[in-house]
Amino acid sequence: MKAKQIHTNTFIDQKEVVIVELKNDKGSFVKLFNYGTIINQFVVTNAHGEQQDIVLGFDKFEDYINPAYLANYPYFGAIIGRYANRIKNGQFELDSIEYQLATNNGKDCLHGGEIGFDKKVWDIVNIGEEPHASVTFQYFSLDGEENFPGDLAIQLTFELTNNDELILTYQADTDEATPINLTHHSYFNLSPKGESIINHIHQMNAANYLEQDSNFVVTGKLIPVVDTIHDFTKPKAIGANWDSESGYDQTYVLDKEYGALTLASKTTETSSGLSLLIYTTEPVAHLYTAKYLSVKNGKNGKDYGEFDAFCVETQHHPNALNIPHFPSTILQPEEVYTQTTIYKVLIH
């Protein structure tokens, strides 16, 4: 197991952007930036003995802050916070106080506002090699940042095991009640040539999905997946019976005990022989098949377009701040927020 830092000599807000590389004994490795805790590479060995990178991104850090990329920003590989997904009208009420957030997605707030945790340089508080190659990042979100209340301290630890598991462990605390809903936004493609993900075989352990309005904000209504295109309770090709114009951009309520670490989804690709299993303590997972992806000059000069990747964003119920019957996403000062999500890669 190895863990090392690589300096970029690039500074943002007077903090250096650093690459952290985690490597296991099998030769698999992950490269992370402390900027947005971006997963830049996740390289494993496929069924043909070839090393294969399974996440989308760029070869150079500078491309992650390029204005052309940010103009149609897909949040490649970054943490999402203080609040993932959409908040209706960017508004919520907490302790009889009305809060207005940025409306950066139509009339709604998306992924924490204009400058979320994905655009911050995180501190590196620990790098280790036992029992697994690991790194812990930390960020302090001050009261009023993006108009959220309370000082929030967040730590995110990545561990790469010899079983090709990338374990993400989140922890946070606050000095006053505040909303929190964190996720990570990696774009996966298991094809050796990065072909469309329509033939990836996907399974999601969810009997219900959440109704959304025209801007993809959840309304609070659960809809059974049975007899719909959203039924992934048994494995099927992502493109088997979908709306080929839109793909999937949908939140699924996982069949599980609240807070338990269980299997959320399994995605398999035939030509690579790879499967990606995602385990999480979170109650929902958002499946996005990159309908709106349009990025020039990605890794090895490849242009990325619609359906070139899939995301499984583990999180709490979106817009729960405005839907009382959803599990609470308010963190109190006496509480500690925790979440574990595991990306496990297997040869099937």
Quick: pLDDT tens for 106-165.
Answer: 999 999 999 999 999 999 999 999 999 999 999 999 999 999 999 999 999 999 999 999
Residue ranges in the chain assigned as alpha helix (H): 67-71
Mean pLDDT of all residues belonging to the chain: 97
What are 176-230's pLDDT values in tens digits? Answer: 999 999 999 999 999 999 999 999 999 999 999 999 999 999 999 999 999 999 9
Domain ranges, ordered by start, for the chain: 2-347
145 carries an active-site annotation? no
Q: From 1.20.1250.20, 2.70.98.10, 1.10.3720.10, 1.10.1740.10, which CATH number describes the 2-347 domain?
A: 2.70.98.10
Residue 348: the pLDDT is 84
> Percent of the chain scored above 90 by pLDDT?
99
Residue 160: the pLDDT is 98
Residue 335: the pLDDT is 98
Mean pLDDT on 323-348: 97
Residue 67: enclosing H or E segment and its boundaries? helix 67-71
Q: Maximum Cα–Cα distance for the chain, whole Å?
A: 59
C-alpha 285/C-alpha 55 separation (Å) is 18
Residue 12: the pLDDT is 97
C-alpha 289/C-alpha 137 separation (Å) is 28
185 carries an active-site annotation? yes
- Active-site residue identified among 185, 230, 316, 317: 185
- Active-site residue identified among 145, 146, 165, 313: 313
Burial 6-27 (b: 16+ CB within 10 A, else e): eeeebeeeeeebbbbbbbbeee
Q: Which amino acid is at 76?
A: F
Cβ distance 187 to 176 under 8 Å?
A: no
The model's pTM is: 0.97
pLDDT band at 294 (very low <50, low <70, confident <90, very high): very high
Residue 1: the pLDDT is 85
Tokens 């385990």, located at residue: 279
